[in-house]
A = this chain, B = another copy of it.
């Protein structure tokens, strides 16, 4: 594999990304537009492989596309204080933790609801549906 001779299919395999997703990332500007062959096929190099890997790691960590755009931009400004990266990461962690709290409360409510099921009854006296119908 030499530099600058990777087709989109191979890039997809190298990075665990789907081909349409790569095109999507290019469309929204997250991935730079690559050079093309005479027959209009995209050609990628090692730097673009690394970029896409970066993006996929961020996605795996739940960063939004917008946040990733910011991280990509920040990472190219090497003389800049890295405080903004820190802030962005912490804010995202806070969001994830808040979501966990929401879901945990929701799970609690669902458990309470589920326990209302006596088993073996009919819809007409179903504890779950009763709970969902109640105007508490």
Instruction: Please list the residues of chain A having a beta carbon within 8 angstroms of any beta carbon in chain B.
Output: 50, 53-54, 57-58, 61-62, 71, 74-75, 77-83, 85-86, 89-90, 92-93, 96-97, 99-100, 103-104, 106-107, 109-111, 113-114, 117, 119-129, 132-133, 135
Contact = CB atoms under 8 A, between A and B. Distances in A.
Contact of A85 (B75, B80, B120, B129): B129
B85 A123 contact: yes
A89 B103 contact: no
A125 B79 CA distance: 9
22 contacts: A54-B132, A54-B133, A61-B109, A61-B110, A61-B113, A75-B123, A75-B133, A79-B122, A79-B124, A80-B123, A82-B122, A82-B123, A85-B126, A86-B114, A89-B110, A89-B117, A90-B114, A93-B111, A96-B106, A100-B100, A100-B103, A103-B103
